[in-house]
Amino acid sequence: MGVGGRVFGFRISSRPGSPGWALGAVALAAALLLVPGLAVAATINVTTTQQQVNTDADCSLQEAIFAANFNLNVAIDPSNPATVINTGCTPGDPGTDTIVLAPGAVYEVSGFVVDPFNTAGLTATPLVMGSIVLEGNGARLER
């Protein structure tokens, strides 16, 4: 706030309900959105133990990683890597998304996932392209 209760030439009143108070509240909310570290993040629940990338209502571990990477509920189409398909996952968000595995579940990772962004070669999951948290809950990945 500037001198005399003014911000950018506007007089800010401290009385709730006054126009100046509303302007101050809007300015504060806008400033908080610009603060680093306050980015929104998604929780993406993995709902199947099968290693798959398809358009069904399930969300596999592989599809969850794609959702976190792209901040959408899409994955690379295994039959045409130049396109994406919609998945059953919750879309990721710009913040650090959390991928949640079912407690004690055993996840099949017996094949390779088509991922044109993965320069390491063929892997069982897509390359993680950002920051994620993986809540394992005692689950295991098995080949």
For residue 73, pLDDT beyond 90: yes
pLDDT at position 40: 87
Helix, strand, coil percentages (3-state) for the chain, rounded to 5, are 20, 25, 60
SS3 67: helix
- pLDDT tens, position by position, 91-109: 999 999 999 999 999 999 9
User: Cβ distance 102 to 50 under 8 Å?
Assistant: no
- pLDDT tens, position by position, 5-52: 554 454 545 555 555 555 555 555 555 555 555 668 999 999 999 999
Cβ partners under 8 Å of residue 133, min gap 6: 96, 97, 98, 99
For residue 64, pLDDT beyond 80: yes
Task: Report the half-sphere exposure of 45 (CA within 13 A, side-chain side).
Answer: 5
pLDDT at position 24: 55
SS3 56: coil
pLDDT mean over 109-122? 93
pTM of the model: 0.74
The total of other beta-carbon atoms located within 10 Å of residue 59's CB is 23
Residue located via tokens 């980015």: 39
pLDDT at position 55: 98
Give me 8's structure tokens.
């950018």
pLDDT at position 7: 47
